[in-house]
Amino acid sequence: MPEVLGVDSGVLAAKADYLAQAAGLSRREVAALLVRDPAAMLCSLDHLQQTVQWLSEGLGLDADLLRHVLSKGGVAKYPLATLQERVAFWLRLGFGLGEVRCMLERMPRLLLYPVHEPKYQLKLRFLTEELGLPLGALLSFPTYLSYSLPGRIAPRAAAARALAGRALPLQQLTRKDEQWAAWLGVGPEEWCAFQQAWRAGPEARRWADPESPGGQPRRVPSG
């Protein structure tokens, strides 16, 4: 990000010092954050302080989780109101603050996902309607939200039913294609052929990204 080049080194040093003192980030972690997610270091020091205070006091993150979320999560680049709205939405879905913290432990970038938007609402609907899982399944595998519904989740769920005769375990979304095909008990070519056929069928259109033509999102009820 070229904007970083225009930031006074003293300003960056002040932010690094604050993150070290208030959140326990090492110099190496701050440097890695600057490289991986420079926008998180371009916010004002005041904004950074407000964000850290809210994560600690409002969301109740302990020292270890605070450090983990700040170093890996990139949350400082978002307005505080945006982060608060996203947590509030999780609460409306029936999760408690402790459960939000639990998901953050497993997925420190959780608050970067606008779960209230149609794309993510469709993923939640698929989780409950097609996989038959409660929203609480996200407590053990919040990374589900990071996978493409039409590109990975839905075709793998269909293959699990058709080729393996069972429901899709969420953890299988992490597998590479070769490992996934082996779990199905088929060769990579058969899995590839199944996937291509699925993408040409009606289910692919049903679970298409709402932002693409043909997407028809419906909201997931809270509670």
pTM of the model: 0.86
From 9, 20, 85, select the one nearest 48 (Cα to Cα): 20
Q: Print pLDDT tens along the chain (223 aa).
A: 454 545 667 778 888 899 999 899 988 998 888 888 888 788 889 999 999 999 999 999 999 999 999 988 789 889 999 999 999 999 999 999 999 999 999 999 999 999 999 999 999 999 999 999 999 999 999 999 999 999 999 999 999 999 999 999 999 999 999 999 999 999 999 999 999 999 999 999 999 988 754 444 344 433 3
Q: Would you kindly state where each structural domain of the chain is located, as residue ranges?
A: 2-112, 118-206
Range 2-112: architecture per CATH:
Alpha Horseshoe (1.25)
